[in-house]
């Protein structure tokens, strides 16, 4: 009887012990998974570099509302979690200041941001066409406001056509429509071919129009 009672009492204890053991091992694993999770922005942040040289995605800065547009200004910043940087004395720090020009991102020079390009608009047209582009500020540039912004830009892309080749064809073989064929303008090329260059008049006009860049590729791109 004594052994039976001991067995009956030992079974709940062993089950409870197993539950506690399972719980104690599961909790650290969950905490470890949460603690080792690294934000995506950390890949853009150089480790142990100068805090003032960090990309904007690696820091949080307070807006200096007293700055004057176009003038140098100082901003108080703090590194984001999991980001490590140092000062001039190679000492790790979290709070620091950066110097930048007081201006919004969309007011930056064109060399400080990258924009999407469009191959569906006509670059050779009058007036010049524009398209809606999405621009992103380069990583090492600091500015106010959104770092991704829309902007209207002039069509500026090329399909690989050379202006010198088109002009040479217009001067030498323009009477047979070779210049128009080269630019992808098949109907005009056939018209020049069967009319012998418009009896020479069309040929002379095309030499002038291609020379000044008024006539361009049929796809609307720029010469190279």
Q: What average pLDDT score do residues 181-204 get?
A: 91
CA dihedral 117, 120, 124, 130 (to 10 degrees): -60
Give CA–CA dist 55/79, Å, rounded. 10
Residue 220 is predicted with a pLDDT of 76
Q: What average pLDDT score do residues 166-173 get?
A: 93
pLDDT of residue 114 exceeding 90, the answer is yes
Q: How does 108-133 read in b/e, with b if 16+ C-beta sit within 10 Å?
A: beeeebebeebeebebbeeeeeebeb
pTM score, whole prediction:
0.56
Give CA–CA dist 208/197, Å, rounded. 14
Q: Per residue in 66-75, pLDDT tens? A: 888 889 998 9
Residue 10 is predicted with a pLDDT of 42
| Residue 43 main-chain phi, psi, to 5 deg | -65, -20
Helix axes 201-211, 163-172, angle to 10 degrees: 160
Tokens of 164: 């010198």
């Amino acid at each position: 009887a004594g052994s039976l009672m001991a067995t009956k009492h030992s079974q709940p204890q062993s089950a409870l012990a197993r539950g506690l053991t399972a719980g104690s091992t599961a909790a650290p694993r969950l905490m470890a998974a949460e603690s080792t999770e690294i934000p995506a922005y950390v890949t853009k942040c150089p480790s142990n570099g100068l805090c003032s040289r960090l990309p904007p995605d690696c820091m949080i800065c307070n807006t200096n509302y007293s700055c004057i547009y176009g003038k140098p200004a100082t901003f108080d910043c703090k590194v984001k979690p999991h980001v490590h940087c140092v000062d001039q004395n190679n000492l790790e720090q979290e709070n620091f200041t950066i110097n930048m020009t007081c201006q919004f991102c969309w007011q930056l020079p064109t060399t400080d941001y990258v924009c999407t390009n469009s191959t569906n608009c006509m670059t050779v047209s009058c007036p010049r066409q524009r398209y809606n582009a999405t621009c992103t500020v380069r990583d090492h540039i600091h500015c106010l406001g959104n770092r991704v912004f829309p902007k209207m830009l002039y069509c500026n892309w090329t399909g690989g056509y050379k202006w010198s080749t088109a002009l040479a064809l217009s001067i030498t073989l323009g009477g047979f429509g070779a210049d128009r064929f080269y630019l992808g303008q098949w109907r005009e090329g056939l018209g020049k071919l069967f009319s012998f260059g418009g009896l020479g008049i069309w040929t002379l006009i095309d030499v002038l129009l291609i020379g000044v860049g008024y006539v361009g590729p049929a796809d609307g791109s720029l010469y190279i």
